[in-house]
Amino acid sequence: MNLETISLDQLRVFTKAAELGSFSAVGRELGRAQSAISYAITTLETQLGLSLFDRSGHTPRLTEQGAAILADAKSILARTEGLHARAAGLRDGLEPELAIVIDVMYPVPRLARVLGDFRERFPTVTMRVGVEVLGAVAEYVMNGRAKFGVIGSMPFQPAGLVGDALPPIRLIPVAAPAHALATMPRENRMMALTDEVQLVLTDRSRLTEGKDYAVYSAKTWRLSDLGTKLEFLRAGLGWGNMPEHLVQEDILSGRLVHLCGITRSVTEWLPMHLVRHPTTALGPAGRWLWDAMLAPSNN
């Protein structure tokens, strides 16, 4: 059995015969004689050492072996088409890969909607999406590890980056129902803040090292992961500011309480910006994604 001599044309003829259920129909569609179609399939069967069609009836029917091989044949043809599409994209300047970095505060469902459209338009482009906090997002963009990024939890745009504003994210103070701040009268909560542990996001980037943002308590626990912060809040280990979109269901279900008695200075609107380095060149996919993330319909 010599598998190296199997051609893509044989696989196309085989899959088309399985689809149409007739060698003559395949011949008409491909503009070939029926004898040429039969020869291609018979040769493929000989090379594989398998009977792909049962020819005992009026029309050829796939055997069990043929049905198993059909899945592999379709996979090979799909990968070949993908190879041609990728090569064509590269010839036209399309990026083989696009890396972006997103602030942990950015709504993931919003990003998923945009990337769903992106995948339809650029199926050959590999996406790499990093999720970071505070200055780490800016560092990824500045050192070239990401083509562009969304800055949010760091409340300023570093010098040397250019970008456009995205809709801000509302941060609200929350705690577990049994937490002291949640059980006391609302008018007493602000005075009690400094005595209660505040859960605060932190990172290791040099841009925000040693800096605090929206910290109101003298007692803090430092966390580098927003998911961990959410679980600690649910467990009653402290209070903290969270993106409203991320805790809406927790508040509705009673797992968390919005600390409404705290003054407006604790409820903050967090600016979000799409940023890139001015020397970074975006290819067709990168330019489309940049514009799509800024589009009003996606915000």
Do residues 23 and 55 lie in contact, with contact meaning Cβ atoms separated by under 8 Å? no
Q: What span, in angstroms and rounded, lies between the C-alpha atoms of 112 and 286?
A: 16
Segment 128-167, tens digit of pLDDT: 999 988 778 888 888 888 999 998 766 555 667 888 889 9
Q: What span, in angstroms and rounded, lies between the C-alpha atoms of 158 and 68?
A: 57
Given a cut of 90, whether residue 258 has pLDDT beyond it is: yes
Q: What span, in angstroms and rounded, lies between the C-alpha atoms of 201 and 174?
A: 14
pLDDT band at 111 (very low <50, low <70, confident <90, very high): very high
Average pLDDT over residues 79-97: 68
pTM score > 0.75 for this model?
Answer: no
Which pLDDT value is given to residue 112? 94
Burial 52-63 (b: 16+ CB within 10 A, else e): bbeeeeeebebb
Which pLDDT value is given to residue 124? 85
Segment 166-189, tens digit of pLDDT: 998 888 999 999 999 999 988 888
